[in-house]
Amino acid sequence: MRARLQLFATSIAAALAVGAAVVAHAPAPRSTRTTIVSGDGTVAAETRLSLRRGDRKRARAEIRKRIEEGSEGTYITDILADHDSSLARWPERLARPISVWVQPYSTVRGWRPAYVHLAREAFDDWKATGIPLDFHFVDDSAKAEVHLAWIDRFKEPISGRTLWARDDDWWILDGSIAIAMHHRSGEALDAAAIKAITLHEVGHLIGLDHTRDPATIMTPRVRVRSLTIQDKATARLLYTLPAGAVR
């Protein structure tokens, strides 16, 4: 049985489109699955370090030290606060890219075929930060670990939503993203807003959470159109650390 953690994104703030939103955050239940393998089938190097020592207290102290030394210019502390002092991430997936299905066609009013390309660009932009993840886009949704679909609007005042599953050790296993074409009020989102929302949601998918810094893509009220230095630095730092509890 796998646990699901729901992460919410807001509507684009006024800098991109009309109408921002308030976010709710659902706590993560625990899972009984404990898969801790990397993309090539080996135990992740960061986890090997902790397992070899057999001393969780000492290992976590070392992780906290690494966070302290590398946290400048990032919002890793905001992520720890939102995740109850735990970090969630995918195992290394360079040798075996994460399979992603982006809905290729939609009858939702306002949807455009160009949005498929924008969504794929969002995954590629995060990959370009240098984190040890690669993405492979597939045509068959049944063969995908990650699904991205288009909807008209949410009942809540948000424009995107991400769900992902993790095991007990906080390694992410799979996920799904929904992107709205309209604000809850009915106003259409333009292409720039769609790209920004998708960047935000893929950020959640790889393990990032909201930050109080309004000048980043992961702020609850998105005002920027692309990844910032802080977004890239935070993702890179996260992927030098093992998943799991820090304290």
pLDDT over 70 (residue 77): yes
Give the whole-angstrom CA distance, residue 176 versus residue 195. 16
| CATH number of the domain encompassing residue 233 | 3.40.390.10
pLDDT of residue 64: 79
Angle at CA 171, nearest 5°, toward 169 and 177? Answer: 135
pLDDT for 175-209, tens place per residue?
999 999 999 999 999 999 999 999 999 999 999 99
- Pairing state of beta strands 133-137 and 160-166? unpaired
Give the whole-angstrom CA distance, residue 146 versus residue 19. 28
| 3-class secondary-structure state, position 179 | strand
Residues 6+ apart with CB under 8 A from 235: 126, 129, 131, 203, 206, 208
Average pLDDT over residues 101-128: 98
Average pLDDT over residues 53-67: 71
pLDDT over 50 (residue 68): yes
Average pLDDT over residues 121-142: 98
pLDDT over 60 (residue 35): no
Which residue segment(s) compose the domain that 59 sits in? 3-245
The model's confidence at residue 88, banded by pLDDT at 50, 70 and 90, is: very high
pLDDT for 92-112, tens place per residue?
999 999 999 999 999 999 999
pLDDT of residue 19: 30
CA 11 to chain CA mean position, Å: 16
- As for how many domains the chain has, the answer is 1
What DSSP character marks residue 190?
Answer: -
Give the whole-angstrom CA distance, residue 183 versus residue 156. 9
Q: Please, are residues 85 and 67 in contact by the beta-carbon 8 Å criterion?
A: no
Give the whole-angstrom CA distance, residue 238 versus residue 247. 16
In angstroms, how far apart are the furthest CA atoms of the chain? 56
Give the whole-angstrom CA distance, residue 43 versus residue 51. 10
Tell me which amino acid residue 185 is: S
The model's confidence at residue 214, banded by pLDDT at 50, 70 and 90, is: very high
pLDDT over 50 (residue 36): no
Please choose, from the candidates 111, 135, 110, 118, the residue with its C-alpha nearest in 3D space to the C-alpha of residue 39. 135
More confident: 34 or 74: 74
* Average pLDDT for the chain: 82
Q: Please tell me the pTM assigned to this model.
A: 0.81
| 3-class secondary-structure state, position 192 | helix
pLDDT over 70 (residue 28): no
* Phi, psi (degrees; rounded to nearest 5) at 38: -90, 180
CA 151 to chain CA mean position, Å: 19
Average pLDDT over residues 209-213: 93
CA 8 to chain CA mean position, Å: 10
